Protein backbone atom coordinates (compact mmCIF):
# COMPACT_ATOMS: atom_id res chain seq x y z
CA UNK A 1 0.00 0.00 0.00
CA UNK A 2 1.13 3.53 -0.74
CA UNK A 3 1.63 6.49 1.54
CA UNK A 4 0.18 9.62 -0.06
CA UNK A 5 0.74 13.28 0.77
CA UNK A 6 -2.32 14.99 -0.73
CA UNK A 7 -2.53 18.77 -1.07
CA UNK A 8 -5.88 20.52 -1.35
CA UNK A 9 -6.93 23.17 -3.89
CA UNK A 10 -7.25 26.94 -3.58
CA UNK A 11 -10.72 26.83 -2.05
CA UNK A 12 -9.24 25.08 0.98
CA UNK A 13 -9.42 21.73 2.69
CA UNK A 14 -13.04 21.07 1.73
CA UNK A 15 -15.23 18.14 2.70
CA UNK A 16 -14.83 16.89 -0.88
CA UNK A 17 -11.03 16.73 -0.59
CA UNK A 18 -11.40 14.94 2.74
CA UNK A 19 -13.85 12.50 1.13
CA UNK A 20 -11.37 11.79 -1.69
CA UNK A 21 -8.65 11.08 0.91
CA UNK A 22 -11.06 8.77 2.73
CA UNK A 23 -11.71 6.84 -0.49
CA UNK A 24 -7.97 6.23 -0.83
CA UNK A 25 -7.79 5.20 2.83
CA UNK A 26 -10.69 2.77 2.32
CA UNK A 27 -8.55 1.06 -0.33
CA UNK A 28 -5.80 0.56 2.28
CA UNK A 29 -3.54 3.53 1.58
CA UNK A 30 -2.17 5.93 4.18
CA UNK A 31 -3.15 9.49 3.27
CA UNK A 32 -1.96 12.75 4.84
CA UNK A 33 -3.86 15.94 3.97
CA UNK A 34 -2.11 18.99 5.43
CA UNK A 35 -3.77 22.35 5.75
CA UNK A 36 -2.15 24.91 3.44
CA UNK A 37 -4.48 27.88 4.03
CA UNK A 38 -4.72 27.90 7.84
CA UNK A 39 -8.19 26.38 7.88
CA UNK A 40 -9.80 28.95 5.63
CA UNK A 41 -12.39 27.93 3.06
CA UNK A 42 -13.29 30.08 0.06
CA UNK A 43 -16.57 30.17 -1.85
CA UNK A 44 -14.88 30.48 -5.23
CA UNK A 45 -11.60 29.92 -6.98
CA UNK A 46 -11.25 33.69 -7.44
CA UNK A 47 -11.57 34.30 -3.68
CA UNK A 48 -9.02 31.59 -2.94
CA UNK A 49 -6.58 32.92 -5.53
CA UNK A 50 -6.89 36.43 -4.07
CA UNK A 51 -5.97 35.05 -0.65
CA UNK A 52 -3.03 33.06 -2.01
CA UNK A 53 -1.74 36.15 -3.82
CA UNK A 54 -1.92 37.97 -0.51
CA UNK A 55 0.10 35.35 1.41
CA UNK A 56 2.28 34.45 -1.60
CA UNK A 57 2.44 31.29 -3.70
CA UNK A 58 5.85 30.60 -2.16
CA UNK A 59 4.19 30.32 1.23
CA UNK A 60 1.99 27.52 -0.08
CA UNK A 61 5.06 25.66 -1.31
CA UNK A 62 6.82 26.18 2.02
CA UNK A 63 3.84 24.86 3.95
CA UNK A 64 3.74 21.80 1.72
CA UNK A 65 7.46 21.19 2.22
CA UNK A 66 7.07 21.57 5.98
CA UNK A 67 4.31 18.93 5.96
CA UNK A 68 6.56 16.54 4.03
CA UNK A 69 9.43 17.01 6.48
CA UNK A 70 7.32 15.38 9.19
CA UNK A 71 6.99 12.22 7.08
CA UNK A 72 9.28 9.66 5.51
CA UNK A 73 10.65 9.95 1.99
CA UNK A 74 8.76 7.11 0.26
CA UNK A 75 5.69 9.14 -0.62
CA UNK A 76 3.32 9.60 -3.49
CA UNK A 77 2.76 13.34 -3.86
CA UNK A 78 -0.69 14.41 -5.03
CA UNK A 79 -2.42 17.74 -5.44
CA UNK A 80 -5.61 19.33 -6.64
CA UNK A 81 -5.01 22.49 -8.71
CA UNK A 82 -3.03 24.81 -6.37
CA UNK A 83 -1.97 21.69 -4.47
CA UNK A 84 -0.01 20.60 -7.53
CA UNK A 85 2.53 23.34 -6.72
CA UNK A 86 3.85 21.65 -3.54
CA UNK A 87 3.21 18.16 -4.95
CA UNK A 88 5.31 18.79 -8.05
CA UNK A 89 7.96 20.72 -6.12
CA UNK A 90 8.42 17.81 -3.70
CA UNK A 91 8.33 15.17 -6.41
CA UNK A 92 11.09 16.91 -8.34
CA UNK A 93 13.28 17.99 -5.43
CA UNK A 94 12.81 15.64 -2.47
CA UNK A 95 14.51 12.24 -2.68
CA UNK A 96 12.42 9.10 -2.50
CA UNK A 97 9.23 10.03 -4.36
CA UNK A 98 7.29 6.91 -5.34
CA UNK A 99 4.85 8.63 -7.66
CA UNK A 100 2.91 11.80 -8.45
CA UNK A 101 -0.76 12.55 -9.06
CA UNK A 102 -1.70 15.96 -10.45
CA UNK A 103 -5.36 16.96 -10.66
CA UNK A 104 -6.43 19.91 -12.84
CA UNK A 105 -2.97 21.48 -13.03
CA UNK A 106 0.60 20.89 -14.14
CA UNK A 107 3.69 23.08 -14.00
CA UNK A 108 6.66 23.13 -16.40
CA UNK A 109 9.50 20.91 -15.20
CA UNK A 110 11.79 23.96 -15.25
CA UNK A 111 9.84 25.50 -12.35
CA UNK A 112 11.48 23.24 -9.77
CA UNK A 113 14.98 22.08 -8.93
CA UNK A 114 17.17 21.36 -11.91
CA UNK A 115 14.17 21.03 -14.23
CA UNK A 116 14.31 17.25 -14.51
CA UNK A 117 11.91 14.53 -13.44
CA UNK A 118 13.32 11.89 -11.07
CA UNK A 119 14.14 8.57 -12.73
CA UNK A 120 11.59 5.82 -12.26
CA UNK A 121 8.89 8.01 -10.68
CA UNK A 122 5.52 7.46 -12.38
CA UNK A 123 3.08 10.30 -13.00
CA UNK A 124 -0.61 10.71 -13.72
CA UNK A 125 -2.18 14.04 -14.73
CA UNK A 126 -5.97 14.38 -14.74
CA UNK A 127 -8.09 17.25 -16.05
CA UNK A 128 -11.19 18.17 -17.99
CA UNK A 129 -10.81 18.91 -21.69
CA UNK A 130 -12.99 22.04 -21.52
CA UNK A 131 -11.84 23.41 -18.15
CA UNK A 132 -10.83 27.05 -18.71
CA UNK A 133 -8.45 26.87 -15.72
CA UNK A 134 -6.68 23.81 -17.16
CA UNK A 135 -7.30 23.43 -20.88
CA UNK A 136 -7.42 27.11 -21.80
CA UNK A 137 -4.78 28.48 -19.42
CA UNK A 138 -1.84 26.60 -20.88
CA UNK A 139 -1.73 23.88 -18.22
CA UNK A 140 -2.94 21.26 -20.70
CA UNK A 141 -0.08 22.01 -23.10
CA UNK A 142 2.35 21.92 -20.17
CA UNK A 143 0.87 18.61 -19.02
CA UNK A 144 1.33 17.13 -22.49
CA UNK A 145 4.98 18.28 -22.55
CA UNK A 146 5.65 16.89 -19.07
CA UNK A 147 4.00 13.55 -19.90
CA UNK A 148 6.11 13.37 -23.06
CA UNK A 149 9.29 14.03 -21.05
CA UNK A 150 8.57 11.51 -18.26
CA UNK A 151 9.15 7.82 -19.01
CA UNK A 152 6.17 6.48 -17.04
CA UNK A 153 3.45 9.12 -17.36
CA UNK A 154 -0.19 9.30 -18.36
CA UNK A 155 -2.52 12.19 -19.13
CA UNK A 156 -6.23 11.57 -18.64
CA UNK A 157 -8.77 14.02 -20.05
CA UNK A 158 -12.43 13.92 -19.11
CA UNK A 159 -15.27 15.61 -21.02
CA UNK A 160 -16.51 18.75 -19.34
CA UNK A 161 -15.61 22.18 -18.05
CA UNK A 162 -15.33 21.65 -14.29
CA UNK A 163 -12.02 22.60 -12.73
CA UNK A 164 -12.50 20.87 -9.38
CA UNK A 165 -14.73 18.14 -10.81
CA UNK A 166 -13.56 15.50 -8.31
CA UNK A 167 -14.48 17.54 -5.21
CA UNK A 168 -17.87 16.17 -4.16
CA UNK A 169 -18.57 19.20 -1.95
CA UNK A 170 -18.50 21.71 -4.82
CA UNK A 171 -21.16 22.48 -7.47
CA UNK A 172 -18.85 21.50 -10.36
CA UNK A 173 -18.56 17.93 -9.08
CA UNK A 174 -18.95 15.42 -11.90
CA UNK A 175 -19.70 12.00 -10.46
CA UNK A 176 -18.93 10.00 -13.61
CA UNK A 177 -15.57 11.71 -14.22
CA UNK A 178 -14.66 11.62 -10.52
CA UNK A 179 -15.45 7.90 -10.32
CA UNK A 180 -13.28 7.13 -13.35
CA UNK A 181 -10.48 9.32 -12.01
CA UNK A 182 -10.62 7.51 -8.65
CA UNK A 183 -10.46 4.12 -10.40
CA UNK A 184 -7.36 5.20 -12.34
CA UNK A 185 -5.75 6.64 -9.21
CA UNK A 186 -6.33 3.43 -7.28
CA UNK A 187 -4.81 1.38 -10.12
CA UNK A 188 -1.80 3.74 -10.08
CA UNK A 189 -1.37 3.46 -6.31
CA UNK A 190 -1.60 -0.32 -6.47
CA UNK A 191 1.50 -0.46 -8.66
CA UNK A 192 3.79 2.14 -7.05
Instruction: Tell me the per-residue pLDDT of 79-108, one tens digit each, with 9 for 90 and over.
Output: 999 999 999 999 999 999 999 999 999 999
Whether residue 61 is predicted with pLDDT greater than 90 in this model: the reply is no
CATH code assigned at 20: 3.40.50.1820
What residues pair up with 7 in beta bridges, in sequence order? 79
pLDDT of residue 144: 98
pLDDT of residue 188: 98
Lowest mean pLDDT among 3-17, 50-64, 87-101: 50-64
pLDDT of residue 57: 86
Counting the structural domains of the chain, the total is 1
Question: CA 43, 26, 91, 51: dihedral to nearest 10 degrees?
Answer: 10
Mean pLDDT of the chain: 96
Q: Would you say how long the chain is, in residues? A: 192
Q: Summarize the chain as % helix, strand, coil (round to 5).
A: 40, 15, 40
pLDDT of residue 92: 97
The residue range of the domain holding 22 is: 3-191
pLDDT tens readout for residues 117-150: 999 999 999 999 999 999 999 999 999 999 999 9
Q: Rounded distance, CA 48 to CA 33, Å?
A: 18
| pLDDT more than 70, % of the chain | 100
Amino acid sequence: MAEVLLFHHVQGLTEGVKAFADQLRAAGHTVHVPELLEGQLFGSIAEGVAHVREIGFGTVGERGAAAAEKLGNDLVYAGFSLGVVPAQLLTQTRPGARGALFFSSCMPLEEFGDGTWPDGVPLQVHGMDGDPEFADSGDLEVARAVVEAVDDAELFLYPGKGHLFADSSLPEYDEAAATLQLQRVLEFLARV
